[in-house]
């Protein structure tokens, strides 16, 4: 296996670890996906999520989540890389609503860097393409930018 293929596989693993760590609420694995100064956000709101608090936020709102990530496209250039991947994220609200699910789909645009501990995301742009669910509840939960 070539070094580029090995790097591509390691980078894709970061994307898969991200999804698993959210759904299992594994803070340590979640944080291991990112550089300490990583930016994460939507096109309109960069760095809108405080990474070390985001799993607690999700756990407060949702009893379960499932993030399915596919179609990984990776480009490696030395110790830097970019990755695009598609996602469908299903969220089950803790509170009783007329629609118990909040589901969104779109893609991530990632910039990664090789560190002594392996590949890490230094910038993740979440590009939401569609959303289903109770839009008022989504907005009230502080996620209005997802439904605009």
Specify the CATH number for the domain of residue 101: 3.10.450.50
Q: How confident is the model at residue 49 (pLDDT cuts 50, 70, 90)?
A: low
Q: What is the DSSP string of the chain?
A: --HHHHHHHHHHHHHHHHHHHHHHT-HHHHHTTEEEEEEEE-SSSTT-S-HHHHHHHHHHHEEEEEEEEEEEEEEEETTEEEEEEEEEEEEEESS--SS-EEEEEEEEEEEEEEETTEEEEEEEEEEEEEEES-HHHHIIIIIGGG--
More confident residue, 114 or 50: 114
Q: Residue 78 — pLDDT band, cuts 50, 70, 90?
A: very high
Q: Which of 73-77, 121-125, 144-148 has the lowest mean pLDDT?
A: 144-148
Q: Which residue has the higher pLDDT, 5 or 105?
A: 105
| pTM: predicted TM-score of the whole model, two decimal places | 0.88
What pairing do the DSSP bridges indicate for beta strands 80-93 and 34-41?
A: unpaired
Question: What is the residue range of 10's domain?
Answer: 3-146
**CA 5 to CA 86: how far, in whole Å?**
20
CB atoms within 10 A of CB 68: 12
Q: Are 10 and 118 in contact (CB under 8 A)?
A: yes
- Cα gap 134→69, rounded to integer Å: 23
- The structural domain count of the chain equals 1
Name the one residue in this structure whose structure tokens are 């830097």.
80
Query: Which range, 2-11, 20-29, 92-101, is most confident?
Result: 20-29
């Amino acid at each position: 296996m070539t070094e580029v293929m090995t790097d591509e596989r390691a980078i894709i693993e970061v994307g898969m670890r991200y999804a698993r760590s959210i759904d299992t609420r594994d803070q340590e694995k979640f944080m291991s996906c990112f550089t300490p100064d990583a930016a994460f956000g939507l096109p309109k709101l960069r760095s809108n999520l405080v990474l070390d608090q985001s799993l607690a936020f999700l756990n407060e709102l949702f009893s379960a989540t499932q993030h399915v990530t596919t179609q990984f496209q990776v480009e490696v250039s030395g110790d830097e890389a970019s990755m695009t991947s598609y996602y469908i994220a299903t969220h089950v609200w803790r509170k009783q609503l007329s629609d118990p699910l909040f589901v969104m789909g779109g893609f991530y645009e990632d910039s990664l860097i090789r560190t002594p501990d392996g590949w890490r995301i230094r910038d993740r742009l979440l590009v939401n393409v569609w959303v289903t669910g109770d839009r008022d509840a989504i907005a009230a939960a502080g996620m209005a930018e997802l439904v605009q």
